């Protein structure tokens, strides 16, 4: 199994690479994890991870600037149905548009917009930084299988000021709470994205990555 972690100048690439290697090893999977900015390698991969750290517009421009990468992602994910995981801003880029410092067009793979978090408790600081449990929405998605969820479940690590608001509520696979519910995970068909950082989320993150490596949507 070949897994491409897309390098477009934005993301926790080393940590994501190491976490995926560990998840594969602990799950007994024969997987080659490659951090790559090569469109051909990405197009040929069996699974694709799109990380992202920073502002929506900067990440969108960085992805556009990699020769052939947008076309490779569309071919692999939308046409060939390869399992895809977006992380943090990598998830947000799936939206129709982002509203951080103006309006920026996203990939529009899952309809919706990325808008500022607006907690109903004024004492809660932005960005949201810290550990939260996950609440499944509409059943447990395969990427969350075997992970203790809910109020007494495992915790995921978040660092963000904006959240994905999908057009269709059923696209939300899990939510978290920070002065109000927000989308912690979105999913449709072979596409999934998480607002939190699996590579920093210890037991929960490793289990989710192992599930992704075994996922057959």
Catalytic residues: 88, 197, 199
Query: Is 60 within 8 Å of 189 (Cβ atoms)?
Result: no
Neighbour count for residue 103 (Cβ, 10 Å) = 11
Residues 99 and 39: their CA atoms lie apart, in Å, by 28
Residues 6+ apart with CB under 8 A from 3: 20, 24, 31, 32, 33, 34, 45, 46, 47, 48, 49, 213
Query: Is 146 within 8 Å of 211 (Cβ atoms)?
Result: yes
């Amino acid at each position: 199994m070949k897994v491409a972690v897309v390098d477009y100048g934005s993301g926790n690439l080393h940590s994501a690479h190491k976490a995926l290697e560990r998840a594969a090893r602990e799950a007994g999977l024969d997987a080659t994890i490659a951090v790559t900015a090569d469109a051909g390698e990405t197009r040929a991969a069996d699974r694709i991870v799109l990380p992202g750290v920073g502002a929506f517009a900067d990440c969108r421009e960085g992805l556009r600037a990699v020769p052939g990468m947008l076309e490779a992602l569309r071919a692999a994910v939308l046409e060939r149905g390869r399992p895809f995981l977006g992380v943090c801003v990598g998830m947000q880029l799936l939206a129709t548009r982002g509203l951080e410092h103006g309006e920026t067009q996203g990939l529009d793979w899952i309809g919706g917009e990325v808008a500022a978090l607006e907690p109903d408790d004024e004492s809660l600081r932005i960005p949201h930084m810290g550990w939260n449990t996950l609440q499944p929405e509409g059943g447990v998605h395969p990427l969350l299988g075997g992970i203790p969820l809910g109020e007494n479940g495992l915790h995921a690590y978040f660092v963000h000021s904006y959240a994905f608001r999908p057009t269709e509520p059923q696209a939300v696979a899990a939510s978290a709470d920070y002065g109000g519910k927000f989308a912690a995970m979105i999913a449709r068909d072979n596409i999934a994205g998480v607002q939190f950082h699996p590579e920093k989320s210890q037991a929960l993150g490793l289990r989710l990555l192992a599930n992704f490596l075994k996922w057959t949507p």
